Amino acid sequence: MSKDLIKPYGDTLDDGIVQLSFTLPVENGPKAKKAAEIYVGKLNFEDIHVVHAQKIADNFTCFIVYARAVPTIDYSAVKVKVAKFEHIDFYQINDLIKKKIGRPISLVGATIGSDAHTVGIDAIMNMKGFKQDYGLERYPQIKAYNLGAQVSCETLIKKALEVKADAILVSQTVTQKESHINNFTELIERLAADDLKEKFVLLAGGHKINNELAVKLGYDAGFGPGTVPSQVASFLITSILQKKGK
Amino acid sequence: MPHILLKSAQVNTVKKLASSIADEVQQFVSRHSSVSVERTVLRLYGVDGVDSSGTPLPNAIVDRWCANGEMGGGISRPFIKAMLKSGKDAQQTARLIEEGKIGFDKLGDLSQETVRKKEKSRARQAIARLDSSRKRKAEKIRKIPLPVQPWRYLIVATGNIHEDVIQARSAVYAGSDIIAVIRSTAQSLLDYVPYGFTTEGVGGTYATQANFKIMREALDEASKEHGRYIRQVNYASGLCMAEIAACAAFEDLDILLNDSMYGILFRDINMKRTFIDQYFSRLICARAKILINTGEDNYLTTSDAIEDAHTVTASQLINEAMAKKAKLTDDLLGLGHAFEINPAIENAFLYELAHAQLARELFPKAPLKYMPPTKYKSTDIFFSHCMDTMFNLSSVTTGQGIHLAGILTEALHTPLMQDRFKSLSSINYIFNIARSLGDEIEFKKDGFITKRARQVLDETEKSLEEINDIGLMEAISQGRFANIQRPLDGGRGLDGVFEKGADYSNPVMDLLEKD
């Protein structure tokens, strides 16, 4: 396979231009600017321009730097795992459920652990939806149960069993001290302990979530920022059909 | 300021409807108390600290009293009896009760008159403590003036109060007028106020009296250094509304998030419990001159900012009416609203101006709390910075009171120090270059903005009429706010509610209601 070497693009191919912004815990001045330049040099950049240095607090200076990146990568060798599904719309999804499954699918969603943010789960599940894309509650062929925030794993699993859910959606917004990873993991461990993991399609969502991370944690897929409900529904239907071998 | 001609008769109508809605809630509140109201009485009497197992003493004492079974009379009388019996102050008496050396069941026969007298004098001392906080703050503001509105409000949330102080100082340096220490995630669901200074929290720092004190001292220093009085904010909504108000008053806090509606809808706190707690909490705020902030802005994170704009206005009116019943004055009403319209909609900014201006005119003397975009905040931080800039322009043009800083990275992570600085740079820039814009412009009589504001007010009136017919509690059960349904007896904290007996005594509340 031929190599396809790439590096950042500013305004000329392979110029390697990168913009950086960071803070150093020092007072602003010529010495601080020099320190920023040296630091960026240590990151292996060349042709470094510290274009802006600003005191943002006592003993803290923020910099804006432009520099040329040195390394190239072979784009043809880049591999990434993405959730495989065709993105279809609201009507197509409802149609497909009707025709191929013959009953409405059921799902439960929640923000688990101490996280109090419903913004993620609401964007996907609430009737209204997100970015002009209807939420899952609006789908006639989907019975969607949004349990809200601060839901324990036990409650979520109990509800999933009670409504015979096909899928479980979990969202995490707070990521301080890796709390989202711990919460995502706790749910997987509990499901595994009760031998329930294969029973549901498991989806993880949140602004620090991508498909790769979610799959690594044991979910079927992960959805990051900007995801609209129909993407989630498209994945769900694909995945449920796969499980059924249809 | 620019004006939208609202019909004054209609403004009167909606205010009357809101007042009638609040009346019904108040009738319920007057007949009930809660464990956290009673714990607040103990705190106001001077009980603080924790027992040997780490339980806050006000909880330990109220739990023992509850176990006694006769709660209808309130904690005040039995506790004062115990004080008379021990001959010690409130704190030492609480210790003796906790250690089992004095039991609520063996208080003997003290004359009613003696007990009542002691209760009264103890209550007066509690009020004096709230009064002295109010006076201390007034004195500080006399020496170091308040900045002009909109006040620039910045949140710190490291989990460690000492780190928060560093972040707060940098925010004040960058131009912030108000520092809020956001609470550790889910503290609103704790049925006690944690004790002592804390260095470990997730998503924020615990609200404790000790943490309040540490931040207040730092902000007093920063106020002197920068020549403007820096206000301190914390959060009371949740299961301990009144207790946190008391702790905040003791440490001279300026602003508390204080909103039952928010607790019910977004934290699933039982509505009976939190309406009861809110009333006592707000009475304390009124006395200590703590400005309250309400959380209507949150409605627009779950429902549509155009379709459901009237739910924000309706809730603001109801919150105003409930606040007035707790003696809060206009200058203490930081009613909430937000800049949350989908940025892809044509003329979204005109809608935003109409909504912001409507709030401004319905509550002309209130320091309205205006929230930045969150729902459509993008991980494209450059675009997000542009959105915040438009929000800043809307705020200064319509003369908002409390301006929450929108931060370019808030869809990503807890903002970095440099992110806050960029946010404040934009605010400072826009507030300065457009300071008097609002004084110069008039909205067309039948233009888009005027029509839109009138439409929202019409929808608000209709909605308030319906709520007035069914009652606020029923309206919440039906999901009229934020598209979230909360049943009357659902949620957290209902087990801590009890009906007041004929002999119920809470002399602090009596004094707060009277003066």
Fold of B147-451: TIM Barrel (3.20.20)
Contact list, B174 vs chain A (CB under 8 Å): 56-57
CATH number of the domain to which A114 belongs? 3.40.50.280
**Residues B19-45, mean pLDDT to the nearest whole number:** 98
Q: Are both A106 and A215 inside the same structural domain?
A: yes
> Within 10 A of B228 (CB to CB), how many other CB atoms are there?
19
Q: How large is the C-alpha radius of gyration of chain B?
A: 23
Mutate to test the interface with B, among A24, A55, A56, A152 (most CBs of B within 10 A): A56
Determine the residue of chain A that is closest to B303 in CA distance: A128
Do both A121 and A237 map to the same domain? yes
* Among B residues 336-355, those touching chain A with beta carbons less than 8 Å apart: 342, 344
pLDDT for the residue A1: 53
Residue A128 included in any domain: yes
Between chains, do B344 and A118 touch, taking CB under 8 Å as contact? no
Contact B304 A54 (CB under 8 A): no
Confidence category of residue A246, pLDDT binned at 50, 70, 90: low
Q: Which helix (H) or strand (E) holds A99?
A: none
Dihedral class, residue A186 (left if φ above 0, else alpha if ψ from -120 to 50, else beta) = alpha
Instruction: Quote the minimal CA–CA distance from A163 to chain B in Å.
Output: 19
The string of pLDDT tens digits covering residues A104-131 is: 999 999 999 888 787 788 889 887 677 7
Note whether residue A85 is domain-resident: no
Q: Is the dihedral of CA B311, B317, B322, B323 positive or negative?
A: positive
Residue closest to B259 by CA, chosen among B345, B327, B319, B180: B319
* pLDDT of B251: 98
A94 and A157 together in one domain: yes
Confidence of residue B269 (pLDDT cuts 50, 70, 90): very high
| Chain CA centroid to CA A223, Å | 4
Domain, as residue range, for A230: 90-243
The residues spanned by each domain of chain B are 147-451
The answer on pLDDT for B171 being more than 90 is yes
pTM, two decimal places: 0.86
Contact A116 B188 (CB under 8 A): yes
A45 and A111 fall within a common domain: no
What is the average pLDDT across A160-169? 94
- Would residue A80 count as lying in a domain? no
Confidence of residue B121 (pLDDT cuts 50, 70, 90): very high
Set A7, A33, A55, A128: catalytic member:
A128
Does the pLDDT value for residue B196 go beyond 80? yes
Q: Residues A141-156: pLDDT tens digits?
A: 999 998 888 899 999 9
- Convert the pLDDT of each residue in B418-451 to its tens digit: 999 999 999 999 999 999 999 999 999 899 999 9
Separation of alpha carbons B311 and B89, rounded Å: 48
* DSSP per residue, A35-90: HHHHHHHHTTEEEEEEEEEEEEETTEEEEEEEEEE---EEGGG------------H
Contacts of A137 in chain B (CB under 8 A): none
Q: Which residues pair with A170 in a beta bridge?
A: A110, A204
Q: Which is it for the CA torsion B322, B324, B327, B330, positive or negative?
A: positive
**In terms of domains, do A113 and A137 share one?**
yes
B158 confidence band (pLDDT: 50, 70, 90): confident
Please check whether residue A83 lies inside any domain of the structure: no
Q: Is residue A62, in this structure, part of any structural domain at all?
A: yes
A119 → closest Cβ in B169, B186, B301: B301
Q: How far is B202 from chain A (nearest CA, A)?
A: 6
Strands B151-156 and B32-34: unpaired
Structure tokens, B458: 């019409």
The pair of structure tokens assigned to B277 is 């707690």
Query: In whole numbers, what is the pLDDT of chain B averaged over residues?
Result: 94
Active site residue B254: no
User: What ipTM does the predicted assembly reach?
Assistant: 0.85
Number of domains in chain A: 2
CB pairs under 8 A between A and B: 89
- Domain final position from A50, A75, A100: A75
**Mean pLDDT lowest among A60-74, B177-191, B348-362, B395-409:** B177-191
pLDDT value of residue B301: 80
* Whether B187 contacts chain A with CB within 8 A: no
Closest C-alpha to B373, from B360, B396, B389: B389
Polymer length of chain A: 246
CA dihedral sign of residues B197, B201, B206, B212: positive
Q: How far is A178 from chain B (nearest CA, A)?
A: 10
- Pair A174, A233 in one domain: yes
Q: What's residue A184's pLDDT?
A: 94
In a domain, A215, yes or no: yes
Instruction: Flag if B379 and A207 touch (Cβ within 8 Å).
Output: yes
- Determine the Cα angle at B481 with ends B475 and B487, to 5°: 50
Query: Whole-number mean pLDDT of chain A?
Result: 91
Residue carrying the six token digits 């029509």: B451
End residue of a domain, out of A19, A48, A75: A75
**Counting Cβ atoms within 10 Å, is residue A99 exposed (0-12), middle (13-18) or buried (19+)?**
exposed
* Test the A interface: residue of B185, B257, B492 with most A CBs within 10 Å: B185
A111, A68: one domain? no
CA distance A221 to A85: 11
Residues A210 and A101 in one domain: yes
Alpha-carbon distances, residue B426 vs A65, B70, B153, B267, B384 (angstroms): 20, 58, 13, 32, 12
Tell me if residue A131 is catalytic.
Answer: no
pLDDT at B191 over 80: yes
Interatomic CA distance for residues B113 and B110, integer angstroms: 8
A31 lies in a domain?
Answer: yes
Give the mean pLDDT of B448-461. 97
Mean pLDDT, range B186-196, rounded to an integer: 92
Q: Is B30 on the interface with A (CB under 8 A)?
A: no
Return phi, psi of residue A102, to 5°.
Answer: 80, 10
User: What is the rounded average pLDDT of the residues B342-348?
Assistant: 95
Look up B462 and say whether it is catalytic.
Answer: no
Q: What span, in angstroms and rounded, lies between the C-alpha atoms of B38 and B504?
A: 11
Are residues A170 and A201 both part of a single domain?
Answer: yes
Judge whether residue A132 has pLDDT over 80. no
User: Would you say residue A135 has pLDDT above 90?
Assistant: no
A56 and A101 together in one domain: no
Which of helix, strand or coil describes residue B213?
Answer: helix
Lowest mean pLDDT among A14-18, B5-9, B358-362: B5-9
% of chain B beyond a pLDDT of 90: 85
Query: Which one of A75, A98, A115 terminates a domain?
Result: A75
Number of Cα atoms under 13 Å in the Cβ half of residue A54: 17
Residues A109 and A161 in one domain: yes
Residues 6+ apart with CB under 8 A from B348: B341, B342
Most confident of the ranges A64-73, A74-83, B473-482: A64-73
Which of B202, B304, B421 lies at the smallest CB-CB distance from A128? B304
Mutate one of B158, B421, B426, B486 to test the A interface: name it (highest A CB count within 10 A). Answer: B421
Q: What is the mean pLDDT of residues A155-178?
A: 90
Nearest CA in chain B to A132: B342
Is A162 inside a domain boundary? yes
Please check whether residues A38 and A124 belong to one and the same domain: no
Q: What tokens were used for A240? A: 């449920």
